[in-house]
Amino acid sequence: QVHLVESGGGSVQAGGSLRLSCAASGDIYNNNCMGWFRQAPGKEREGVATIYTGGGSPYYADAVKGRFTISQDNAKATLYLQMNSLKPEDTAMYYCAARLRHPYPLPCTPGYGEYNWGEGTLVTISS
């Protein structure tokens, strides 16, 4: 079981920046696939960015490419999401996720495997 706690959400104006953090504890294994997902009101949850904690190229949704950066500090067991040039359409609840162990390798992109989830942190962008 993995316990994930997000922080860093808030309200900013369009064009601003926020940095989300996710503190992880519990059954974190080497080269885990972790990521950020978001769910806007009335919409389905979508993957924003994912990364293997052991390194490698991250995945970004097209809507956030060039504006968001996912990173991790393995020593602190913390995942980050730096969000720049924020837009009103980025308004959503943002969730940190750590993929459960799987018997064979899977791509570290949304849609593969099952995840442990945090409680979420709300991001609100005003125009």
Task: Give the position of tokens 């316990």.
Answer: 3
Strands 121-126 and 10-13: parallel
Strands 92-99 and 115-117: antiparallel
How does the average pLDDT of the chain come out, rounded? 94
Give the C-alpha separation, 55 to 83, whole Å: 20
* Residue 91, Cβ density class (10 Å: 0-12 exposed, 13-18 middle, ≥19 buried): middle
Mean pLDDT value of segment 18-40: 91
CB 56 within 8 A of CB 70: no
Q: How confident is the model at residue 3 (pLDDT cuts 50, 70, 90)?
A: very high
User: What does the pLDDT look like over 48-88, one tens digit per residue?
Assistant: 999 998 888 999 999 999 999 999 998 889 999 999 999 99
Amino acid at 102: H
Mean pLDDT value of segment 110-114: 91
Give the list of residues 6+ apart from residue 60 with CB closer than 8 angstroms, or none: 48, 49, 68, 70
- State both tokens at 44: 């389905």
Q: How confident is the model at residue 105 (pLDDT cuts 50, 70, 90)?
A: confident
